[in-house]
Amino acid sequence: MDLPRTIFEVIDMRSFSNLWFWIALAVMWSTASHWVIGVPWDLVLRARRKGGAQQQDVEDLARIYTRRLLFIGRVSGTWLMGLVAGSLSGLWVLGFWYGIQFCQAVFLLLAPMSLVALLSLRAARRIEAGEDTGEALYRRLRAHRFTTQAIGLTSIFFTAMWGMFQNLSASVLGN
């Protein structure tokens, strides 16, 4: 008995009908909305309620991750933009032009996250420019989290619709 063949027969390896793809999608967006520019959201909520040491922790973490993001952006931002744009373009062509479902799935995971990365850089610049303490920092983190969640909700909805379309097409065509 051939174990890999048995696994592929038992588990449907098409991306959109695979449970692991949907788990990865949910975990990715849950993590992205919990860690706002490197600061855990529960710590932000606690800091707003209690202040003191928690507020200092939020400000320290925001300062550390802001400097880290901006350093990466300033040192290798052009190269990273080219690499990400080239990779996303390649995935789009392979996925949607040539119909490779795995590339479609990876594109639908990475394209919205690249937008979140750009928005994180923008938020980091604003934090560095003066929104780095107290209520101004909380407002910036809350706005960034809300935007991330909106992108995630839209992404999950579009991915679910596309995945259902792909699954229905595969079942109708008998692929």
The mean pLDDT value for 71-75 works out to 95
Domain ranges, ordered by start, for the chain: 67-161
Q: Quote the Cα angle for 66-133-145, to 5°.
A: 60
Average confidence score pLDDT of the chain: 90
What percent of the chain lies above the pLDDT cut of 90? 74
**DSSP letters spanning 5-32:** HHHHHHS--SGGG-HHHHHHHHHHHHHH
The residue whose two tokens read 């394209």 is: 111
19 pLDDT band (50/70/90 cuts)?
confident
Instruction: Dihedral sign for Cα 122, 126, 131, 135, please.
Output: negative
The end-to-end CA distance of the chain, in Å, is 24
Question: Which residues are within 8 A (CB) of 121 and not within 5 positions of it... i.e. 6 or more apart?
Answer: 69, 70, 73, 77
Q: For 139-153, what is each residue's pLDDT tens digit? A: 999 999 999 999 999
18 pLDDT band (50/70/90 cuts)?
confident
The residue ranking higher by pLDDT, 137 or 51, is 137
Q: For 90-135, what is each residue's pLDDT tens digit? A: 999 999 999 999 999 999 999 999 999 999 999 999 999 988 888 9
pLDDT at 11 over 60: no
The residue ranking higher by pLDDT, 123 or 174, is 123
166 pLDDT band (50/70/90 cuts)?
confident
